[in-house]
Amino acid sequence: MSKITLITADFCKPCQYLKTLLPEIAKELNCDIPVIVEEFDEDKHFITKLPTMSFTIDGLEKSRMIGTKKENVKAFLRTAMAFENISFWGYED
């Protein structure tokens, strides 16, 4: 099962912005991949910057994005949708 995980923190203003931007862009692109929002925990998440998005299929990370640029978020979602289609048709690595 595929999912997008958005790792955020309460003190992070860009994270709050991305929380509102991501559903809008996903709707615009007709992306139906579930988005899970997780609060940053340094014992669980091995990341250096916030906000970070990770796309996983069956627990295996396929793509990662850091930041809030709208163009990059769109590209990230398109990439995730492409990976999901590749996985569906059985051509994954």
CATH topology of domain 2-89: Glutaredoxin (3.40.30)
Domains in the chain: boundaries: 2-89
Residue in 1, 17, 4, 11 with CA at minimum distance from that of residue 78:
4
Q: What pLDDT does 91 receive?
A: 55
Q: Which amino acid is at 10?
A: D
The answer to whether the CB of 7 falls within 8 A of the CB of 38 is yes
**Reported pTM:** 0.87
DSSP state letters, the chain: -EEEEEEE-TT-HHHHHHHHHHHHHHHHTT----EEEEE--TTT---SSSSEEEEEETTEEEEEEES--HHHHHHHHHHHHHHHHHHHHT---
Q: What pLDDT does 88 receive?
A: 59
Q: What pLDDT does 83 receive?
A: 87
Tens digits of pLDDT across the chain (93 residues): 899 999 999 999 999 999 999 999 999 999 999 999 999 998 888 899 999 999 999 899 999 999 999 999 999 999 999 988 776 556 555
Which two structure tokens, joined as six digits, stand for 63? 């793509």
